[in-house]
Amino acid sequence: MVTEVINANELHKMDPVFGQLSFDNHEQIVFCNDKDTGLKAIIGIHNTVLGPALGGTRMWNYSSEWEALNDVLRLSRGMTYKSAITGLNLGGGKAVLIGDAKTQKTPELMLKFGEFVNSLGGKYITAEDVGMATSDMDLVRTVTPYVTGISESKGGAGNPSPVTAYGVFMGMKAAAKYKFGSDVLEDKVIYVQGIGNVGEALVENLSNEGAKVYISDINQDRLEEVRDKYSVNIYGGDNIYAEEMDIYAPCALGATINDFTINQFKAKIIAGAANNQLAEEQKHGKMLREKGIVYAPDFLINAGGIINVYAELENYDRKEIMRKTENIYNTTLEILKKAEAENITTYQAAFNVAQARIDARKNEK
């Protein structure tokens, strides 16, 4: 008999799905594979109490399948609470495609993914996310009706990025009102980390307001393009977290608020578009609170995108999209005040409101 000694770091792989730290009683996890197109995808359906699970599709060159699974579990869970706190009749879902969107995304791969989405019969509705474009959603639409964020010319609400950014802008202004007594961002020093579609649109809003904006991204060409377009500053240092600033706006991937960064933060407010900004929600939410940093919960203030695509399901117009997105300001202010009154973190306050709505609907059923 051979006895194998398993490294402690490998123990979690003995329960690779239900033992995942990010598994939170997800209803369904779908693994999609197609040899001919090279498709490797995971669809996570977290909760459908309030309605079908809607969430974008992300294509990313993950270092491992384990990393991809963790991402889709966290993201789909976040969508549940994003829809709940925004008052939408939607559940939470997400999809990730494993691969490089620049070199491995093909029409055939997207069509095959659309067929997998269609096989779920509407339990999951997809949309655009990192590595995707509106044209990809148009293509998916040719094989399934369960997709949102299609071109306006095809009857859709179009690119959700500007609406997402506007919601973040509203949440940021509400946080400023709470922290500084005024929501005017003129002359505030704001660092935007990640200049994708949403990050750029946020920079535009901030520039129009007269803020002193610094931008950071791994793509130098992109930085120079956005700098020249909006007359903002490129951050040239090597540790953005330790810089003196009024507001830190994470708009790239998640978990930038962690043990390492919190101890260095000099920002007074954190409000950005990235999902899952807190590496550990309870622990790091509490650490921010103890440092006196106002955290605008990500799943609350970045909900503009889902408001935008929800319009395709509910048939409301652009004016209503912007009205609902602008209301993120009021909800954010309410959550910040609720957290203070109840002596809890802002994350917990937002989570409690969202969970209460889900529980109330479950009880009705």
- CATH of residue 244's domain is 3.40.50.720
DSSP-assigned states of every residue in 154-189? GTS----HHHHHHHHHHHHHHHHHHHHS----TT-E
Residue 196: how many other CB atoms lie within 10 Å: 18
334/186 same-domain check? yes
169/52 same-domain check? no
Does residue 6 lie within any of the structural domains? no
Q: Measure the CA–CA gap between 279 and 276, rounded to whole angstroms.
A: 7
**pLDDT tens digit string along 263-297?**
999 999 999 999 999 999 999 999 999 999 999 99
Which parts are annotated binding residues?
194-199
The answer to whether residue 6 scores a pLDDT higher than 90 is no
188/204 same-domain check? yes
210/345 same-domain check? yes
CA distances from 172 to 143, 158, 190, 276, 341 (A): 39, 24, 10, 17, 20
Query: Do residues 147 and 141 make contact, with C-beta atoms less than 8 angstroms apart?
Result: yes
pLDDT band at 254 (very low <50, low <70, confident <90, very high): confident
Does residue 84 lie within any of the structural domains? no
50/133 same-domain check? yes
State residue 157's pLDDT score.
86
200/223 same-domain check? yes
Query: Do residues 174 and 336 make contact, with C-beta atoms less than 8 angstroms apart?
Result: yes
Does residue 5 lie within any of the structural domains? no
Does residue 2 lie within any of the structural domains? no
Which parts are annotated binding residues for NAD(+)?
194-199
- Which of the 8 DSSP states describes residue 278? B
- CATH of residue 20's domain is 3.40.50.10860
**pLDDT tens digit string along 298-310?**
999 999 999 999 9
324/218 same-domain check? yes
The answer to whether residue 159 scores a pLDDT higher than 90 is no
Does residue 264 lie within any of the structural domains? yes
Indicate the residue among 122, 153, 184 that finishes a domain: 153
pTM over 0.85, yes/no: yes
Query: Do residues 146 and 161 make contact, with C-beta atoms less than 8 angstroms apart?
Result: no
Residue 234: how many other CB atoms lie within 10 Å: 14
Count of domains for the chain? 2
Beta bridge partners of 25: none
Structural domain of residue 173, as residue ranges? 161-356
Rounded mean pLDDT, 237-250: 97
Does residue 82 lie within any of the structural domains? no
Does residue 362 lie within any of the structural domains? no
140/165 same-domain check? no
121/190 same-domain check? no
Does residue 330 lie within any of the structural domains? yes
DSSP-assigned states of every residue in 16-59? TTTT-TT--S-SEEEEEEETTTTEEEEEEEEE-SSSSEEEEEEE
Indicate the residue among 125, 153, 181 that finishes a domain: 153
188/322 same-domain check? yes
**pLDDT tens digit string along 44-100?**
999 999 999 999 999 999 999 999 999 999 999 999 999 999 999 999 999 999 999
Q: Measure the CA–CA gap between 194 and 302, rounded to whole angstroms.
A: 14
Which of the residues are catalytic?
A: 94
149/170 same-domain check? no
Phi (first) and psi of residue 6, to 5 degrees: -95, 125
Indicate the residue among 110, 134, 153 that finishes a domain: 153
119/167 same-domain check? no
